[in-house]
Amino acid sequence: MSTKHRFWFDRNTPSSVFLRPVNSSLTAVISAADLLLLHPTKMLIYKDMLTNEELFSDSYPMKLVDDLYYRVTGKLTSESTDVDESVYGGNASAEGGGEEFESNVKKGVNIVLAHDLKEIEGLDRKAYITLFKEYAGKLNEHYKKNLPDKVAEFQDKFQKLLKEVKKLLKAEEFQFFQTISASGEGMFALLGYEEDGMTPYMIFYKLGLQEEKQ
């Protein structure tokens, strides 16, 4: 039979959690990190409804705007793709290769790197709107086949979304991204920057997303 616990934080010790079993006067102090092990949370992955491939997760700061699209805040980062040869017993210096070694580092927006999104280049506003309307048609067929009871709602919201997208494209400059396959079948997400020019954010359309817990 599992034991129920009460737990609370103390402002003077923000990195610790006070844990007390119900019906007990004994109190244990554990770290906040250990609490996550006791009560693990599942990450929510947002996938493209048409390609079934990852777009982003709920691990980033995000907000739902007008129930039409998610505005997800990212950051500029770098990731090393090097293999640590020492794990396999290798020693580059001993083999005379230490000086010739070059670090392989990917730099970019963390959302893009983490989910291996692919940039679609060469699109201007007019070309994007054309692709967006084609995407709407594919998504509409998907709803008719798989979610027939939500077709009317989809069509109504997509008209509102189209107006919002046109406003966004007029107001700002964006880059465009698709899922890893870059098949042209799914969503074309937007990547823009805040006024500081350093903080990236991405826009993903709610109507074209499906959620999956991992």
Quickly state the pLDDT bin for 33 (edges 50, 70, 90): very low
- Grade residue 184 by pLDDT with cuts at 50, 70 and 90: confident
| Contact in structure between 31 and 15 (CB atoms under 8 Å) | yes
pLDDT of 61 higher than 60? yes
Most confident by average pLDDT, 5-9, 52-56, 102-106: 52-56
What is the distance between the alpha carbons of residues 35 and 13, in angstroms, rounded to a whole number? 14
Overall average pLDDT of the 47-73 stretch: 96
What pLDDT score was predicted for residue 214? 81
Mean pLDDT of the chain: 81
Q: Is 88 helix (H, G, I), strand (E, B) or coil?
A: helix
Burial label for 204, CB within 10 Å (0-12, 13-18, 19+), is buried
Amino acid 40: pLDDT: 53
Look up residue 169 and give its amino acid.
L
Place of tokens 């020693």: 91
> Percent of the chain at pLDDT above 70?
70
pTM, to two decimals: 0.72
Span between the terminal Cα atoms of the chain, in Å: 27
Going by the DSSP 8-state scheme, the letter that residue 72 receives in this structure is E
Q: For strands 105-109 and 76-80, give the pairing.
A: antiparallel
Rg (CA), the chain: 23
Count CB atoms within 10 A of the CB of residue 187. Answer: 25
Listed residue (161, 213, 188) closest to 55, CA to CA:
188
